[in-house]
Structure 1
Amino acid sequence: MSRKHHHFKGAEVSCCVKYFLFGFNIIFWLLGAAFLGIGLWAWAEKGVLSNISSITDLGGFDPVWLFIVVGGVMFILGFAGCIGALRENTLLLKFFSVFLGLIFFLELTAGILAFVFKDWIKDQLNFFINNNVKAYRDDIDLQNLIDFAQEYWSCCGAHGPNDWNLNMYFNCTELNPSRERCGVPFSCCVKDPAEDVINTQCGYDVRLQVEMEQQRSIYTKGCVGQFEKWLQDNLIVVAGIFVGIALLQVKSVRHLSICHRNRNDLTVCLIL
């Protein structure tokens, strides 16, 4: 009589989930490398890499920092998740999950603090925008960022067009020799759908007009108020996207963080 042998085999991690996480993170990794490369290239074009001390020369915010920081975090996180999932490396997967959890916790904390200290956040936003208005002509990347923000939110300055008095090229003092005196950047101008070419001089002398006349040619609402309105209208959607992505990755890591009990046994266990 033959004897039946029973071999216990634990639940294995799904290969589909494993390679889904691998594919997702290799894209995340490559995007991080691209962001990091763009940031370093931008700094090389500005001469920052050959003179590191020039990083502090800009009075306003350098948008290249976004590419460097975000790209660096994405590169490290994507590498850990990609290699950890492919090689079933518990150390990298633990690092990946802890890093994700930390980012999620920081986002949650920032959201709570922003709600509790919203007046302080608003004051800091005013200070930040005004500092960058002063440095508008100092850096082309900063200039493009401000132009994009004013066009996207249909605004001009922190509280209104007169905030551009803070900039040495646009202020209305009689001693200002600039042709842009008493004007605003072209991104403050109300766009004419019939115009195919941007008129970069549309804001010249516009603040010499009375407010009613200004409203016909430029945006008169401040960017702080417009940003608050946009945030209120899209808060649920934005928060939902961030929370959804974070929970999806944390759940994937939970199911893919595996450990082998020994070399010959196919039984696996979850480490989270």
Structure 2
Amino acid sequence: MSVLGFAGCVGALRENTFLLKFFSVFLGLIFFLELAAGILAFVFKDWIRDQLNLFINSNVKAYRDDIDLQNLIDFAQEYWSCCGARGPNDWNLNIYFNCTDLNPSRERCGVPFSCCVRDPAEDVLNTQCGYDIRLKLELEQQGSIYTKGCVGQFEKWLQDNLIVVAGVMVGVALLQIFGICLAQNLVSDIKAVKATWVPHGDGYKLLNKQHFEKPWLILTVFESSVGSTAPEFPSEGLA
């Protein structure tokens, strides 16, 4: 994306048609890839749900391996009020939280604190609130931890915020289309200006005075094409 932004910025500043075309083509490619991704996500939503479930469970296994990953999972579980991919029992996949007799961890048969239902009256976070919670019956767990999975809660969040999500996606698409149109319009203007010049001595000569409608573009294109050599303007064009 940085290369694409650089190409668009430099192409516009220097009236470089190659960079502007590069910007337009790749921005259009990104637009169609996003469109295709949206269609495929709708058609293969069951497959995406399964992949999301596998992704969350793989991160559950590695919960203690990476502090950044741990913070991300904690944030997701607290934000969406969920626990695990499909429920609290997914934490049995983690070596620290599984319920096997060989697990010596104090967190055995528990869940992370981010699965716990927070008490608004408590000022201090209880990081041990999930200890041994999965030894209880599911009905007994409901008041203490979130029992819904994050996959289902994420789907519910998308449905509840469908208008906002769709609006953001449409806004991004319109910005991309607007950028493509601006770049192509600038390319057309540059080509039109270059078409008004013909070789004349050591410089170039303007063919028709009507092209002075955009003098800034004429001079910039000329300077980028022939350097510092001044153009020879016909006397009738300056009248």
Among 67, 73, 77, the alignment partner of 1:140 is 67
Give the aligned partner of residue 115 of structure 2: 188
| Residue 81 (structure 2) aligns with | 154
Residue-by-residue CA offset, 1:60-83 (whole Å, 9 max, x unaligned): xxxxxxxxxxxxx3x223222222
Q: 2: distance between equivalents of 1:89 and 1:193?
A: 60
Using the TM superposition, give the Cα deviation of residue 245 of structure 1 relative to its aligned residue in structure 2, in angstroms. Answer: 2.1
CA contact (8 A) 2:28 2:180 kept: no
> What one-letter code is carried by the residue in structure 2 that aligns with 1:134?
K
Shift of 1:213: 1.8
2:93 aligns with 166
Distance (Å, rounded) in 2 between the aligned partners of 1:217 and 1:192: 9
Q: Tell me which amino acid in the other structure corresponds to 1:172.
A: C
Within a 5 Å distance, the mapping from 1:1-272 to structure 2 comes to: 73=1, 75-257=2-184, 258-259=186-187, 260=190, 261-262=193-194, 265-266=211-212
Which deviations, in whole Å up to 9, do the C-alpha atoms of 1:170-200 show, x marking residues without a partner? 0011110011101101111111222333222
Tell me how large the CA RMSD over aligned residues is.
2.0
Per-residue deviation at 1:92? 2.1
Letter in 2 for 1:141: D
- CA distance in structure 2 between the partners assigned to 1:194 and 1:81 by the alignment: 53
Higher mean alpha-carbon deviation, 258-267 vs 152-161, is at 258-267
Gaps of 5+ in 2: 198-205, 218-239
Structure 1 runs (4+) greater than 6 angstroms displaced: none
- Please identify the structure whose Cα radius of gyration is greater: 2
Counterpart of 1:174 in structure 2: which amino acid? D
8 A contact 2:130–2:145 mirrored in 1: yes
The aligned length equals: 196
Deviating more after overlay: 219-228 vs 201-210: 201-210
Percentage of matched positions with identical amino acids: 79
SS of the equivalent of 2:52 reads: helix
Over 3 Å counting, the alpha-carbon distance change for 1:221 and 1:87 in structure 2 is same
Structure 1 spans left out of the alignment, 5+ residues: 1-72
Indicate the SS of the match to 2:134. Answer: helix
> The residue matched to 1:98 in structure 2 has which SS?
helix
Contact 1:100 1:246 in 2 (8 A): no
Q: Give the conservation status (yes or no) of the 8 Å contact 2:28–2:176.
A: no
Give the residue type in structure 2 aligned to 1:139. D
**Alpha-carbon distance change, 220 to 78 in structure 1, aligned in 2, over 3 angstroms:** same
SS of structure 1 residue aligned to 2:82: coil
Q: Distance in 1 between matches of 2:150 and 2:66?
A: 20
